[in-house]
Chains A and B, each alone.
Chain A
Amino acid sequence: MAYSIKVLDHYENPRNVGSFGKEEPGVATGMVGAPACGDVMKLQIKVGKDGVIEDAKFKTYGCGSAIASSSLVTEWVKGKTIDQALDIKNTQIAEELALPPVKIHCSILAEDAIKAAIADYRKKHGE
């Protein structure tokens, strides 16, 4: 499959790989996808007291596009408030990475990962 330069760059040099301790203050985790489908994304955000996402990390089991999509969203959510992060749409991810049509589901999964992480944050903080 011919990948765009941006996908290859994120795949070769993924940004923000890793994990935060689940109990660290302000940390929330979103895990989406399933091994049976060939993609699992874990996105973690660390939210400051002011409601701004200070840091983000990911780990992804999946194809190159899935890895690139999750790497990209860790960069995008940093510095955003959680409401702003919820505005990130899969179409923006797909456009930025020039994903081919059969890989659009990777961008959808990345959007879902953001939503899942924020839902986890709100649950933990009683919002």
Chain B
Amino acid sequence: MFKLPIYLDYSATTPIDPRVAEKMMPFLFEKYGNPASRSHAFGWESESAVEEAREEVARLVNADAKEIVWTSGATESNNLALKGAAQFYAGKGKHIVTVKTEHKAVLDTCRELERQGFDVSYLDVGENGLIDLEVFQATLRPETILVSVMLVNNEIGVIQPIAELGEICRGKGIIFHVDAAQATGKVAIDLSSLKVDLMSFSAHKTYGPKGIGALYVRRKPRVRLNAQMHGGGHERGFRSGTLATHQIVGMGEAFRLARLEMSTENERIRRLRDRLLNGISDIAQVFVNGDLERRVPHNLNVSFAYVEGESLLMAIKDLAVSSGSACTSASLEPSYVLRALGRQDELAHSSIRFTLGRFTTEEEIDYAIKLLHEKIGRLRDLSPLWEMVQEGIDLDTVQWAAH
């Protein structure tokens, strides 16, 4: 049997794999040396653990360990990459390109760069959530210095055409940053062939601890950044601050396990995801948000038309999932990502993101399917929109009293 609630929110965060936690433990106890201490064995021991972890992070993405800079997480990596590159290359131009469906850590950083005098273009995506390469090409200008596109979208799990975008950017001498927080362990990443200059990583989306991440900074051709955190000159001056040895060790082990297990794990998770999708596809008016083919195997984002997201979350409280609808905040705004797909508001308001992971079981998925059938039916019996649609009324023709 399984415990309730069932965790289906692996894109928010993952539990730490017990093997990772075990590897971290000694660094919380006897192995407490500062990896920057060069004068004694405590420091040497920690330094070697940090470098071993750096190797593991690099190995997962086929990079050189010297290209990995530790940060506190993907948000910091995105900040360092975007602000650092924009400020360093500002003399070449002031134009930056990103996408409307990026994570807030990129979008809000771009807003800050606009305040610093940069000009940012926010690309639209198609209704499948993917960038159109021609639209992208047309957005580039002679003064474009930086492009930032995520590899895997956090809400709808679609995989952007990073390889093609990289070719275009490299051809024009534009620095290309990729937020890969949601991608590690989900899709193969080969930085020896991808023309990516900067890539952000997070440990806690891949069964590692929270509070640790990394930024890949390409050495050939060399990419320069203005540091955003000043101090003792750690991480070759890119990011000062005493290294969090235990967390770094955890990230290294988590990424090592991801490298070894991702192919078998992803197949298992894909089967469960497809089981969930098949199990709910007999419910009327269910729509998958985002491309189903170009998508990570663990993500299913669906809209249950004519049922409001927050009340659905209440109804299925045995499932720990998240709603694309931000109705739980004061804003009452539906998800900006689903809006960018051109989803009607009522569909954007009724979306649920299921993200499966390493510890998800078939029994849990079957329970979820059963629960969804029950609760969607109940909420639709309560829904005036559903009733109107059953009566054949086109909701777009109704004069609503917006409030």
Q: How many residues on chain B are close to A (CB under 8 Å)? A: 30
Is the C-beta of B126 less than 8 angstroms from some C-beta in chain A?
no
**How far is the CB of A106 from the nearest CB of chain B, in Å?**
11
Kindly list chain A residues whose C-beta atoms are within 8 Å of the C-beta of B402. Answer: 34, 36-37
A34 to B395, CA, bound (A): 10
Contact check: which of A11, A60, A61, A102 meets B314 at CB < 8 Å? A11
What class of interface size applies to chain A in its complex with B?
A: 20 to 34
Question: Does B401 lie within 8 Å of A64, measured CB to CB?
Answer: no
Is the C-beta of B385 less than 8 angstroms from some C-beta in chain A?
yes
- B326-354 contacts to A (CB < 8 Å): 327-330, 332, 334, 344-346, 349
Question: Does A105 lie within 8 Å of B403, measured CB to CB?
Answer: yes
Cβ contacts A103-117/B at 8 Å (1 or 0 each): 001001100100000
Q: Which residue on A lies nearest to B314, using beta carbons?
A: A64
Is the C-beta of A126 less than 8 angstroms from some C-beta in chain B?
no
Contact check: which of B330, B385, B386, B400 meets A102 at CB < 8 Å? B330
Contact check: which of A3, A14, A63 meets B327 at CB < 8 Å? A63
**How far is the CB of A96 from the nearest CB of chain B, in Å?**
19
Q: How many A-B residue pairs have CB under 8 A?
A: 91
Question: Does B382 lie within 8 Å of A38, measured CB to CB?
Answer: no
A105 to B331, CA, bound (A): 12
Question: Does B385 lie within 8 Å of A40, measured CB to CB?
Answer: yes
Question: Does B325 lie within 8 Å of A32, measured CB to CB?
Answer: no
Is the C-beta of A52 less than 8 angstroms from some C-beta in chain B?
no
Is the C-beta of B307 less than 8 angstroms from some C-beta in chain A?
yes
Is the C-beta of A62 less than 8 angstroms from some C-beta in chain B?
yes
Question: Does A38 lie within 8 Å of B384, measured CB to CB?
Answer: no
A102 to B329, CA, bound (A): 8
Question: Does B311 lie within 8 Å of A62, measured CB to CB?
Answer: yes
Kindly list chain A residues whose C-beta atoms are within 8 Å of the C-beta of B400. Answer: 33-36, 40
Is the C-beta of B308 less than 8 angstroms from some C-beta in chain A?
yes
Is the C-beta of B281 less than 8 angstroms from some C-beta in chain A?
no
Question: Does A38 lie within 8 Å of B401, measured CB to CB?
Answer: no
Contact check: which of A38, A59, A62, A112 meets B387 at CB < 8 Å? A59
**How far is the CB of B213 from the nearest CB of chain A, in Å?**
30
Chain A residues in the interface with B (C-beta under 8 A): 1, 3, 11, 14, 17, 19, 31-42, 59-64, 66-67, 101-102, 105, 108-109, 112
Minimum-distance CB pairs A-B, first 6: A34-B400, A35-B346, A42-B384, A36-B345, A63-B310, A59-B384
Chain B residues in the interface with A (C-beta under 8 A): 306-311, 314, 325, 327-330, 332, 334, 344-346, 349, 381-387, 395, 400-403
Q: Would you give 23 A-B contacts (Cβ < 8 Å), ordered by A? A: A1-B328, A31-B401, A33-B400, A33-B403, A34-B401, A36-B345, A36-B346, A36-B402, A38-B309, A38-B310, A38-B334, A38-B349, A39-B308, A59-B384, A59-B387, A60-B382, A60-B383, A61-B382, A63-B311, A67-B311, A105-B403, A112-B401, A112-B403
